[in-house]
Structure 1
Amino acid sequence: MTTMPRAQRPPAAVNAATLALLNELQKDSFDYFVNEVNPANGLIRDKTAEVWPASIAAVGMALTAYPIGVEQGFMARADAVVRTLTTLRFFANSEQSESADATGYKGFYYHFIDMGSGARAWQCELSSIDTALLIAGMLTAAQYFTEDTPDENEIRALADMLYRRVDWQWMRGRENLICHGWKPESGFLRWHWEGYDEALILYVLALGSPTFPIGRDSYDAWCRSYEWKTVYGIDYLYAGPLFIHQMSHVWLDLRGIRDDFMREHDSDYFENSRRATYVQQKYAIENPMGFPEYGELCWGITASDGPGPATRRIDGVQRKFWDYVARGVPYGPDDGTLAPWAVAASLPFAPEIVMPSIIHYQDMQLCEANPYGFKASFSTVFSHGRVACRHWVSPYHFGINEGPTVIMVENYLHDFPWNIMRGNTYLQTGLRRAGFAGGWLDDKTRTS
């Protein structure tokens, strides 16, 4: 295995220039949740496009970001309480039924819902993973808003009720794996969460449920098709897109705690994400497909918007381009599209290589208007043919990009989201039922 530097602990202090840069990035990304919202129901737009629906995952990100906004001085606590309570009341009162126009069913919610009415959009699926991200945000709000006031008491009560209402057992399918989702027209989808992916937070929440808990056999079935690989001399639990190595870490502090799989490999999921971050950089340095600009400072391949679908011959090479797909390393797909936000979201894992890249991306002159921090994605090889701007740049910002940027910068700088979520008894229970032990999870002074 390649020798790698040891993981760095979050700094007691960072230099003033670095702190200012990260605070600016965090504030710009936080503003997405300030502006792309329906204040009447708390729903957050999936992306900055006209007449676009809400994403329940983006709502979960917003509910997690509001406490950060309070702590960082981006938002008054009273305003955060109003926004949070409005959101929770909407989900508590929205229609839960088998109707094709409902907001949800069995405690789950549709992936995309109308910004105004909250009704299901685009005949999409009742989504297990997006419901989990939404519930994780609700539980974050319950952990943070602990004052003995009518509004904060109601926040805690509603978050608890909404979590307890989710029938995780109903969503199990083949081999007791959790199914991707359900549609009223056709029933359960044929895909299940298995093999290493972003579903760790989903399984932990389902295991920790006080009302409809799944069994340990479901978690073991998820782990059964894990792939431990060696890439560029680095041994790690493989997943191609960078976001997979980040999403569950938004809420779960996985430093120093291990399940059976990680004990067998003398690692943990935090260390694994650090190694995956290095694999991403090394792939860009190797640059097997010969894309311009890829290198030590320019990397970050994940699920992202793209310039396709299109095929073009560029500098004598026939290139195929995709739109929004899960790009991955090292086996692809890779069409030269990079996502700066995904690099920023890996800051806690490997700051020694992430910070220089954040600075590099801040210095790049990408031409599209940029109200919310980093661009969602840009192409190193596909251009509009305009002299002033040789890069294709996504014209949109996405809530599920802005959320990890805000939250993971905060986890790096202040350990704040991780700190409050370590105290959540449901997550503790879910982790222990999955077989996790060690570190903070065994420290009674930190989990009480």
Structure 2
Amino acid sequence: MAGTFGIAQAGPTVSTALTPALQPASLPAADAAFVDDLEKRTFNWFWENGNPKNGLVPDRAPLPNGAASIASVGFGLTAYGIGVERHYITRQQAVDRTLTTLRFLASLPQNDHVSGAAGYKGFFYHFLDPNTGLRVADWSELSSVDTALLMGGVLFSQSYFDHDTPQEKEIRDVADKLYRRIDWTWMKAHGPWLSMGWMPPHTFLPSDWKGYNEGLIIYLQALGSPTHPLPAETWKAWTATYENQWGDFQGHKLLNFAPMFGHQYSESWIDFRGVQDAWDRAHNVDYFQNGREAAYAQRAYAQANPGDWKDYGPNIWGLTACDGPGDAQQVYDGKKRHYLAYSARGAGRDYILDDGTIAPTAVGGSIAFAPEIALPALKEMRARYGDRIYNKYGFLDAFNPSFADQKSYWVDGQQLGIDQGPILLMLENWRSGLVWNTMKKNAYLRTGLERAGFEGGWMRTKTATSKPVGQSL
């Protein structure tokens, strides 16, 4: 059998009680040292693998001359502010790398040609050549979500670099230009929803952003645009597609999305604690609490371990999109199993895709949601598997204790930017709230939230720079 694949069955109708969240200030010295170590190593992945000549960040590393990912760039731009606050780098180093990145992105050609461009209508291709910045190959799509993740970093830079200096003013100006030029309305190819992407010269991808997923940040950016905004009613139309995902899984009632990344990407930049849209209010939840329930549900799934995979338990859990051993079959525990390469592994009411592969980012990217279960899991992974899964840049992307590989078990040899990013950003959000608090000051994001109907929580208070931005903040 191909692991545990298929549609999950509904669980109990009442969420299991959740343990109170763990506070960073209360950590024992050894735990605090581990958190410090993991955050610094993960930051270094972005700083040392990013191209200092143009700011592009690889999709994965090590991979000599591998493609850059615009989503990785977005996480990287956010990482640099974290590096300043944690004293990993100086503010001037962060300014220089950020300005190099933004200038380069703004200089790249945008047109509808099959080759020779980095993007079109303000959107960027998912993968770029790491040196030229142009579309890496004909298979790379113009990506709405990856552009939005890039813009997460661009808008973070706009709000973080607030000093009255020529360089920081330029950062704010170029960030403004990059965001304002995106034509969100053009990407609305099929009805009210945004398309997932486009291929030149004139073909939109058939799938649209519908249902609960990482699309939160895309629609909020599109609603907040001062130049090409989507209608405010788009948000209601989008959330109306959620209903089939709302329900019980492993004793937790939540808006289901099986891979953890769907609960982490938008929430890495946006603090949804106590902030609700109309859908949330009707269901007595917010997106932060939903992510917390999702983390607990995944842990409960690993404890139940319906696929009988090796090592699953209360501190070994975490399914999300990640690398895998490859499309292969092996016998484990007396059963013939089917394993996968890169796949959107997950466990939820919507589906289960599980071949025994654990992704540390599923846990690390959930630490702001549920630190009281995420930190023990990260510590257990580090202690049990040691340097096989933990190197100079923190956790390797994935490992599979059930898959035999050269007299041991399979471990990925790389880290991915879109998996390192949530670990870094959510660690810092848990520890200081830096990314969340910086984004609260961004007028465009706040406009998007207001137009989507969000109320409550921190939105009751106007922040110092929550006014329209022009050439400076």
TM-score of the pair, normalised by structure 2: 0.91
Alignment RMSD, CA only? 1.5
Q: Secondary structure at the match of 1:380?
A: strand
The one of 389, 411, 420 equivalent to 1:393 is: 411
User: Residue 26 of structure 1: CA displacement?
Assistant: 0.5
Partner of 1:287: 305
Instruction: Give the counterpart letter for 1:135 in structure 2.
Output: M
Rounded to whole Å, the distance in 1 between the matches of 2:37 and 2:390 is 16
Does residue 263 of structure 1 match 2:281? yes
Instruction: Give the counterpart letter for 1:425 in structure 2.
Output: A
Rounded to whole Å, the distance in 1 between the matches of 2:159 and 2:463 is 17
Mapping of residues 45-444 of structure 1, within 5 Å: 45-48=58-61, 49-101=63-115, 102-123=117-138, 124-226=140-242, 227-330=245-348, 331-365=351-385, 367=388, 370-386=391-407, 390-444=408-462
Q: Tell me if structure 2 keeps the 8 A contact 1:178–1:218.
A: no
> Deviations along 1:320-378, whole A, 9 cap, x unmatched?
11111101104321100001122011111111111110110111225367221012100
Instruction: Give the counterpart letter for 1:194 in structure 2.
Output: K
Q: 1:356 to 1:260 in 2, by over 3 A?
A: same
Rounded to whole Å, the distance in 1 between the matches of 2:202 and 2:427 is 41
Q: Secondary structure at the match of 2:415?
A: coil
The one of 6, 17, 20 equivalent to 2:33 is: 20
Unpaired runs of 5+ residues, structure 2, are 1-13, 467-473
Q: 1:13 to 1:447 in 2, by over 3 A?
A: farther
Instruction: Give the counterpart letter for 2:192 in structure 1.
Output: N
Q: Secondary structure at the match of 1:381?
A: strand
> Deviations along 1:12-68, whole A, 9 cap, x unmatched?
453322221111000101111111122111000110112211000000000000000
User: Which protein has greater RCO, CA pairs closer than 8 Å, 6+ apart?
Assistant: 2
Rounded to whole Å, the distance in 2 between the matches of 1:228 and 1:447 is 36
Instruction: Give the counterpart letter for 1:47 in structure 2.
Output: R
Q: Tell me if structure 2 keeps the 8 A contact 1:207–1:213.
A: yes
Rounded to whole Å, the distance in 2 between the matches of 1:11 and 1:365 is 25
Rounded to whole Å, the distance in 2 between the matches of 1:436 and 1:445 is 16
Q: Secondary structure at the match of 2:16?
A: coil
Rounded to whole Å, the distance in 1 between the matches of 2:281 and 2:131 is 47
User: Residue 3 of structure 1: CA displacement?
Assistant: 3.4
Mapping of residues 1-20 of structure 1, within 5 Å: 1-5=14-18, 7-8=20-21, 10-20=23-33
Q: Tell me if structure 2 keeps the 8 A contact 1:10–1:348.
A: no
Instruction: Give the counterpart letter for 1:428 in structure 2.
Output: R
Q: 1:153 to 1:414 in 2, by over 3 A?
A: same
Q: Tell me if structure 2 keeps the 8 A contact 1:7–1:349.
A: no
Rounded to whole Å, the distance in 1 between the matches of 2:23 and 2:444 is 26
User: Residue 238 of structure 1: CA displacement?
Assistant: 0.7
More strand by proportion, 1 or 2?
A: 2
Instruction: Give the counterpart letter for 1:373 in structure 2.
Output: G
User: Residue 446 of structure 1: CA displacement?
Assistant: 7.1
Q: 1:9 to 1:258 in 2, by over 3 A?
A: farther
User: Residue 205 of structure 1: CA displacement?
Assistant: 0.4
Instruction: Give the counterpart letter for 2:85 in structure 1.
Output: E
The one of 24, 29, 49 equivalent to 1:36 is: 49
Worse-matched range after superposition: 376-385 or 236-245: 376-385
Q: Tell me if structure 2 keeps the 8 A contact 1:129–1:202.
A: yes
TM-score of the pair, normalised by structure 1: 0.96
User: Residue 302 of structure 1: CA displacement?
Assistant: 0.3
Rounded to whole Å, the distance in 1 between the matches of 2:421 and 2:251 is 32
User: Residue 176 of structure 1: CA displacement?
Assistant: 1.4
Rounded to whole Å, the distance in 1 between the matches of 2:20 and 2:253 is 15
User: Residue 222 of structure 1: CA displacement?
Assistant: 2.0
